[in-house]
Amino acid sequence: MRSLTSLILRLARALLPASRRQWGDAATRETEEIGHPGAALWFALGCLIWAGREAIQDRLQKPRTFGETLMNLSGQRPGAYTIAILCSCAATGLGLAYMVMGGAPGRYLAINGGAFAFGLVALAILVLADRRGHLAAGPVTLSLGLILLATSLWGVTGGEVTRWLALGPLMIQPSLMVVPLMAVLFARSRDTLSLTGVVLGALALALQPDRGMAGALAAALAVLAIIRPNRAALTAAAAAGVGFGATMLQADRSPAMPFVDQILYSSFDIHPLAGAAVVLGLVLLVLPALEAARVDPAGRSVYAVFGAVWTGIIAAAALGNHPTPLVGYGGSAVIGYLISLVVFHRQAPERGRFAVETAADPERDGPALYTTGP
């Protein structure tokens, strides 16, 4: 429990504005003097919630300088990519703290932590592939749609719905990993293969049925159709809307699972701080989209889709028996969130070595690609 307390304090210090960093150091020293591990954890969680509030207030008061205290992973310049990584880390940490307070089994914490580590590795692979021009949105989106369709046809059924795949002792929900990445990749490249993948995905979600993920996909594509209307975007939004409507006409008898579903409400029964941790963690999931849209207007449609799909997933968790992402138990959402962050990566070109490749194709949007120059 002490290691978890230390992690929470480090996250709190990272969130604090520069003017408050000394307070973070003082809080760390004060926590070390608390003899009871449980009391120390409660104090650290309170510090994290306060630090999150201070970070949000600082962002609202100084909108042009938020992010200046953060550097990206290369150490060259601040960016939304780094902010997104920190937000995912903080949200996952808040989820672990909530589960500890609620008495969740230790394997729940291990699975979420392992999923976070796996997601970071998967994200690094996707970023490398994107930088080298190997992350073709069309074939990838089509493959994701086929994965969803295969799950709906041959996946594991429970409560009269078919949403899961069994990987040995682990049960994963592919839609939580596939739908966010599919949505943002389609926002980047609205070609024929991408459109086909999205239509297959909408069909698969209707067959499962999974109204939570179908609603999130429909919301994301509706936002895209409004911001960047064209034939592909409107067709995809219509297909997703029909798929969502089909799920609403079918019964969804999946039961609520402890530490997975309805935790926006049950967490407050454990302790007000536990509920606050869950709420703060969910807010952190959509903050990167707001910051990225501010600093990179050219990719605002992609970031809007990212924000819409995760807002839809959060809304589904609040309204029905659907997994609460990152702050609740379930590695699929952790991995899905991290790999969808690939659209935030903007590698600054090295002077004299890289040149920006601007997208002349009006069907493309989002982060520019960088190619080797002469």
Compute the distance between CA of residue 284 and CA of residue 314 in angstroms, rounded to an integer. Answer: 12
Whether 59 is in a domain gets the answer: no
Whether 53 is in a domain gets the answer: no
Q: Compute the half-sphere exposure of residue 31: CA atoms within 13 Å on the CB side of its CA.
A: 28
Whether 17 is in a domain gets the answer: no
- pLDDT given for residue 359 in this prediction: 40
Whether 232 is in a domain gets the answer: yes
- pLDDT given for residue 365 in this prediction: 55
String of b and e for 344-357 (b: at least 16 CB within 10 Å)? bbbbebeeeeeeee
Range of the domain at 193: 70-346+354-369
Domain count within the chain: 1
Whether 272 is in a domain gets the answer: yes
Collect the ranges in the chain with pLDDT lower than 70.
1-4, 7, 11, 15, 52-53, 55-78, 346-374
State CA 328 to chain mean position distance. Answer: 13
- pLDDT given for residue 190 in this prediction: 93
Whether 317 is in a domain gets the answer: yes
- Count of C-beta atoms within a 10 Å radius of residue 200: 23
Global pTM? Answer: 0.78
Of 203, 136, 210, 131, whose CA–CA distance to 177 is shortest?
210
- pLDDT given for residue 53 in this prediction: 66
Compute the distance between CA of residue 221 and CA of residue 13 in angstroms, rounded to an integer. Answer: 37
State CA 155 to chain mean position distance. Answer: 24
- pLDDT given for residue 169 in this prediction: 80
Whether 92 is in a domain gets the answer: yes
8 Å CB contact between 207 and 154: no
Whether 107 is in a domain gets the answer: yes
